[in-house]
């Protein structure tokens, strides 16, 4: 059973920064020539939003709402995923989840597109004014 464990969430004032981490285990990374890892967020009653994704080639994709403020990175040796969040806004308040896909693809525009299969339990981020 693939396990994804997020950490690093918390409460911060508007304009502040947080760094989320996601540790992946029981996923046979060596079995796949390419895969994706990504961050999603969702608040109760709202649709889940794909925040950022990265694949094994280093291709990244960001939602328009976080572009320029958030940076996704991946330590392939440690099997860890990170999300550096800066210039946080109250509307960034959400539960953040990491996910992993066994494949990676690109849409017709060349944007990274991944079909996620495994999910973590989430870490809460709260941004106050």
Confidence label for 1 from pLDDT (cuts 50, 70 and 90): confident
pLDDT at site 31: 79
pLDDT at site 129: 93
Is residue 41 predicted with pLDDT exceeding 90? yes
DSSP designation for 102:
S
Long-range contacts of 117-122 (CB under 8 A, 24+ apart): 118/2, 118/4, 118/27, 119/4, 119/40, 120/3, 120/4, 120/5, 120/6, 120/22, 121/4, 121/5, 121/6, 121/97, 122/6, 122/95, 122/96, 122/97
pLDDT at site 111: 92
* The Cα angle at residue 84 between residues 52 and 78, in degrees rounded to 5: 85
Residue with the larger pLDDT of the pair 25 and 22: 22
pLDDT at site 76: 86
Average pLDDT over residues 29-43: 89
Average pLDDT over residues 89-110: 94
DSSP designation for 27:
-
pLDDT at site 44: 85
């Amino acid at each position: 059973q693939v396990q994804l464990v997020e950490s690093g969430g918390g409460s911060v004032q508007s304009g502040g920064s947080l760094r989320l981490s996601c540790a992946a285990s029981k996923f046979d990374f060596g079995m796949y020539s390419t895969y994706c890892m990504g961050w999603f967020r969702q608040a109760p009653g709202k649709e889940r939003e794909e925040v950022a994704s990265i694949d094994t080639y280093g291709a990244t994709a960001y939602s328009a709402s976080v572009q320029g403020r958030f940076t996704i990175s991946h330590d392939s040796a440690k099997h860890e995923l990170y999300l550096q969040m800066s210039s946080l806004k109250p509307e960034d308040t959400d539960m953040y989840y990491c996910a992993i896909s066994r494949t990676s693809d690109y849409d017709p525009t060349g944007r990274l597109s991944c079909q996620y299969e495994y999910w973590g339990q989430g870490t809460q981020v709260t941004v106050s004014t």
